Amino acid sequence: DTGVSQNPRHKITKRGQNVTFRCDPISEHNRLYWYRQTLGQGPEFLTYFQNEAQLEKSRLLSDRFSAERPKGSFSTLEIQRTEQGDSAMYLCASSFTSMYNEQFFGPGTRLTVL
């Protein structure tokens, strides 16, 4: 399977704990994006990387959130001191660098904070 993969698919944690999600993009893609989707809403952009460089971060990405893509391949998204409001589906997407670059989405990681 050459699609975008995300792990874990589901994560349940207690408020105040730290969590980390992983995204493996399509291997030839040099751009990687993170979005957050809450119930009944469309995805909201969080951040994106071109290779290992983080080029844009949304104001939604508070200080408790950090994303990395150390070797320009897989990426991790960490949430520190989780809050109930962090409960959402976290989506990863990847694309080529091109004028009309289509973003291919992974299945998402569903986070529930108790």
Binding site for another protein (CB under 8 A): 4, 31, 33, 35, 40-45, 48, 55-56, 58, 91, 93, 100-108
Least spacing, CB of residue 42 vs another protein, in Å: 3
CB closer to another protein, 40 vs 85:
40
CB of 45 to another protein, least distance (A): 4
Which of 103, 108, 109 minimizes the C-alpha distance to 26? 103
Q: Which is nearer to another protein, 20 or 103 (CB)?
A: 103
Name which of 56 and 83 has its Cβ closer to another protein: 56
CB of 16 to another protein, least distance (A): 30
- Residue position matching structure tokens 């070797």: 71
Tell me the one-letter amino acid at 6.
Answer: Q
Task: Write down the least CB distance from residue 102 to another protein, Å.
Answer: 6
Name 78's Cβ contacts closer than 8 Å, sequence gap at least 6. 18, 19, 20, 21, 65, 66, 67, 68
Phi, psi of 85 (to 5 degrees): -70, -10
**Minimum CB distance to another protein smaller for 41 or for 51:** 41
The distance of Cα 37 from the centroid of its chain, to the nearest Å, equals 10
